Amino acid sequence: MGAELTRHVKRNLVAYIALLPMAVVVIFAYLGTMAWSVRLSFSSSKLLPKNDFVGLTQYFTLFDTPRWLTSLGNLVIIAFFFLLICFALGCLLAIFIDQNVRGESLFRTVFLYPYAMSFVVAGLVWQWVLNPDLGIQHTMHGLGFTGFVLDWVVNPKMVLYAVIVATVWHGSGLVMALILAGLRGVDTEIWRATRIDGIPTWRVYLSIVLPMLRPMIITSLVLLSISIVKMYDVVVAMTNGGPGTASEVPAKFIMDNLFERANIGLATAASTVMLVTVLLVMAPVIYSQYFRKSGRAS
């Protein structure tokens, strides 16, 4: 056993060394910080971290805070629609662009440019566009369509969808780029073969190409999930959580308490709750993805 282990390590020694930087970063930066923030969630820290112990007080406070509960609910809605729309749109864009369209690079840049825009100002622009007195509704009324209503930003029931519109605008370009990169890796022979066999294009995509793009699809879904959990800038710039608390999200709750409200204890409790939630959601996925078949060569 011991000898076998030594032989294994020896054969893969360089790989071990190559992964050292990652190990250091994971252990010290990530695990260290996570442990530290979990520890702080049991303290009464306000502006600066404190080392006292107050048990689960912060967690009780947290789940007694209506705004936090609203934030969690909002996140579920955002996660569902954003993930679905952004992913579907990104895939469709990539597939359509991959049809030998003229001006491909123009289209690609148009769909990707929002990703480069800072949300501080882009969020404001979306707020204007969706505001009934400034944006589309105002223009339509000016044109005589006085029955036209588009008041999402100021309507507490619809404001989340306004946020989703802006985030889809921002994020689907990246999904497109990822999927497109994957499509461009698909062997041209496959297309020739299916064409000769007379298989309809949509069937080729669904049953041959998509499975081949599995790694890219997983990557996009994980990236989108990360951006959902961390969603902050867009909400601040577009609605600042309003009207009322109708568009509050967990990351904004964490940030507000970390800085504006000088309540580190509560902020770390909230971030711990998010971490555990992510762990619970991801655990089965990560397990099936990364532990079933580790290291494909020996």
- Site residues for another protein, 238-277, by CB under 8 A, read 238-246, 251, 254-263, 266-268, 271, 274-275
d(C-alpha 187, C-alpha 193), whole Å = 10
The answer to whether 209 and 189 are in contact (CB under 8 A) is: no
Reference 113, options 95, 84, 83, 93; nearest CA is 93
Q: Phi and psi dihedrals of 293, rounded to 5?
A: -130, 90
Q: Which stretch binds another protein (CB under 8 A): 52-60, 73-81, 175-183?
A: 175-183
Q: Does 171 bind another protein (CB under 8 A)?
A: no
Residue 275 C-beta: closest distance to another protein, Å: 6
Instruction: For residue 23, state whether it binds another protein (rule: CB under 8 A).
Output: yes
Amino acid (1-letter code) at residue 83: L
Is residue 56 close enough to count as binding another protein by CB under 8 A? no
Q: DSSP secondary structure string, 142-175?
A: HTT-TT----GGG-TTTHHHHHHHHHHHHHHHHH
In the region spanning residues 204 to 223, those forming contacts with another protein, defined by CB under 8 A, are 212, 214-216, 218-219, 222-223
Chain mean position to CA 272: 18
CA–CA dist 138, 121 (Å, integer): 21
Is residue 117 classed as helix, strand or coil in its secondary structure? Answer: coil
Q: Tokens 């969706």 identify what position?
A: 130
By the rule CB under 8 A, 164 interacts with another protein: no
The yes or no reply on residue 127 touching another protein (CB under 8 A) is: yes
The one segment of 52-60, 71-79, 80-88, 146-154 that binds another protein by CB under 8 A? 146-154
Closer CB to another protein, residue 8 or residue 207? 8
d(CA 46, CA 267): 9
> Between 11 and 80, whose beta carbon lies closer to another protein?
11
Contact with another protein (CB under 8 A) among 31, 76, 77, 199: 31
How far, in Å, CA of 90 to CA of 93, rounded? 5
83 binds another protein (CB under 8 A): no
Measured from the CB atom, the residue of 53 and 184 that comes closer to another protein is: 184
Q: Is 7 in the site for another protein (CB under 8 A)?
A: no
Q: Pick between residue 52 and residue 105 the one whose CB is nearest to another protein.
A: 105
Least CB distance to another protein at residue 53 (A): 19
Q: Does 90 bind another protein (CB under 8 A)?
A: no
